[in-house]
Amino acid sequence: MLKISNAVELADWEIDITQIRAQGAGGQNVNKVASAVHLRFDILHSSLPPFYKERLMAMSDQRISKDGIVIIKAQSFRTLELNKEDALERLRELIQQAVKLQKARRPTRPTKSSQRKRVDRKTQKGKTKALRGKVKI
């Protein structure tokens, strides 16, 4: 069971975890031990509430395919158990991030004082540059 929130949980059958060999340089066990994890989660066929599904499908994340399948590869750790925990935690964070409501941005305008200061700086800079001309004898 993966607990997303107080009301939402994912069953183990919904998450497909397969072992793979990790990439990169390794030691003696590099070609023998499959310690990395591939996590696959089908959004559309899951038991998530419709609101969660809509928000996840609307996200523009490279881990979510057009078919609604989340693919997470975890290979940061040396052991299979830690990589499984890492992949499940990343799935939980992805789902929670999708559901979190973003605060609406209210456009602001510059103050009169800041506008005046900006114009004053521009005129001062212009005067400084005007003094850089050739000197007439």
pTM assigned to the model: 0.69
Average pLDDT, the chain: 88
Number of domains comprising the chain: 1
CA neighbor of 95 nearest in space, from 66, 54, 36, 136: 54
Classify residue 108: in a domain, yes or no: no
> Can you give the residue range of the structural domain that contains 32?
2-99
Residues with Cβ within 8 Å of residue 84, at least 6 apart in sequence: 17, 37, 74
Interior angle at CA 12, CA 10 and CA 17, nearest 5: 115
Q: Which pLDDT score is estimated for 136?
A: 80
Classify residue 77: in a domain, yes or no: yes
- 63: CATH: 3.30.160.20
Cβ burial, residue 113 (10 Å; 0-12/13-18/19+):
exposed
Classify residue 121: in a domain, yes or no: no
Highest mean pLDDT among 28-42, 61-75, 113-127: 113-127
Confidence of residue 34 (pLDDT cuts 50, 70, 90): confident
Q: Which pLDDT score is estimated for 33?
A: 79
Confidence of residue 27 (pLDDT cuts 50, 70, 90): low
Classify residue 92: in a domain, yes or no: yes
